[in-house]
Amino acid sequence: MKITAFGAAEDVTGSKHLVEVNGSRVLLDCGMFQGRRKQSDFKNRHFPFDARSLDSVVLSHAHIDHSGLLPILAKNGFRGQVYATCATRDLCSIMLLDSANIQARDAEWLSKKNREFIPPLYEDADVHAIMRRFVCMPYGRKFEVADGVSVTLQDAGHVLGSAMVCLDCRENGTAKRLLFTGDLGRKNMPILEDPWEPDGADMVIMESTYGDRDHEPIEAMEEKLAQIVHRAVQRGGKIIVPSFALERAQELIYALKNLEVRGAIPSIPVYVDSPLTVNITEVFRMHGECFDATIRGFMEHAGDPFRLKQIHYVTRAEDSMRINALREPAIIISAAGMCEHGRILHHLKNNCEDSRNIILIVGFQAKNTLGRRIVERQPRIKIFGVEHPLNAEVRIMNGFSAHAGRGELLAFGRRFQKVRLVHGEQTALEALQNGLSGAGVHDVTILREAEPIEA
């Protein structure tokens, strides 16, 4: 069995892992590179393998850094199936169209600015073509994805519908099992079930996003959020929250609902200003089978966990522009989570210079993104090509992270003897490698991009 990482190797975006066994070729994830625009665009346009040669794709979850290049497979002649959970399929049908629309708008903007025209990576038709190739599979059921290659999806607890991929095959008469964690979630998080604990595997391809640090306890997040709301209200400011449309936004809304039900925060308008987030929240309502017992119990006495007294789900552009005229305290949740595109840029532009306001960071910010520059509290930030002083208070709450922290990664990985690390920046990868080695893992290394390994 040969495995080659064509993305998320010594990096956190562009997840693509090609598994070759017994003449079959199975791709695990097909994610988009994000970060430095020119470098990412080049890598996204130059596929390292022939899409027509793939037997199938198994998708761990719907985040764009794992799913965002699927339409290019269809565009380039892929004729196999894409296997995923039903929730992941429903999310991809929304998120991939949104990705295509963002690319079209970017191309139009560059054209208006008389800059070099960069065509979109793909269009709506390519999204529709790949969506027709999706096959929904439940957790825990083994199914064949290529000749002699079977897969079982196991709940990763990361985002709605996320899965670890357990791949079984026979090679030269010997049974082999490969486990791909995708993005590994955390225990006791709101909304979703805890990650499963898979049986033994001959090799584990394991994510490392937070391999060098732990998160704040999730139990402390609601109280910290309440303090931030009170602080903003007392000084007449707004809370601007760049949020990933998938999972983070829903967790944040659910936390605000909990605080509202308890009477722990004053009544304050909440604007969810992201058509993508609005649509994804509807998918959450469709897939209650993914919810844990806690939120199900909450819903029995408090109703819809995503409906507050003063919540406004904003889809129309004209309604979004009206939010900028607000002068009273409000919470504005908008995408994209790393502040690279979307309506969040307008809210940051209009609010980053006012020291009464709070920019609340609730998710991972990759290198070379505006979100990372805000986290670093750089004194000036560039938005739409114009520099602005960053006077707003920056608060960071990493306890909402949907990724396992260092301790959780060590607890998961130490149960295996052959681990290959992916999906992390260099410091996180090396820290987790050292930690797992110290915990007794016999063989743990970091995967290098485009360097095949044998399982």
Residue 442 dihedral angles phi and psi, to the nearest 5°: -70, -40
**Cβ-based neighbours of 73, under 8 Å, separated by 6 or more:** 30, 51, 54, 57, 130
Does the pTM exceed 0.85? Answer: yes
Residue 116: predicted pLDDT? 73
Measured CA to CA, the distance from residue 296 to residue 117 in angstroms comes to 49
Three-class SS state of 11: coil
What dihedral angle (degrees, nearest 10) is formed by the CA atoms of 186, 97, 339, 45? 100
**CATH class of the 218-400 domain in this structure:** alpha beta
Pairing, β 203-207 against β 239-242: unpaired
Residue 220 dihedral angles phi and psi, to the nearest 5°: -90, -10
**Cβ-based neighbours of 250, under 8 Å, separated by 6 or more:** 160, 191, 280, 281, 284, 306
How does pLDDT run across 94-136, given as a tens digit for each residue?
999 999 998 998 888 777 776 777 899 999 999 999 999 999 9
Q: Is-contact 285 306, C-beta < 8 A?
A: yes
Q: Where are the domains of the chain?
A: 2-213+402-454, 218-400
How does pLDDT run across 353-380, given as a tens digit for each residue?
999 999 999 988 888 899 999 999 999 9
How does pLDDT run across 416-438, given as a tens digit for each residue?
999 999 999 999 999 999 999 99
Q: Say whether 218-400 and 2-213+402-454 share the same fold.
A: no
What are 151's two structure tokens? 């897969």
- DSSP sequence for 306-360: T--TTEEEE-SHHHHHHHTT--S--EEEES-TTSSSSTHHHHHHHHTT-TT-EEE
Measured CA to CA, the distance from residue 20 to residue 382 in angstroms comes to 44
What are 180's two structure tokens? 């791909």
What are 378's two structure tokens? 């750089």
Residue 381: predicted pLDDT? 98
List the chain residues with pLDDT less than 50: none
How does pLDDT run across 72-88, given as a tens digit for each residue?
999 999 999 999 999 99
The answer as to CATH 3.40.50.2300 being correct for domain 2-213+402-454 is no
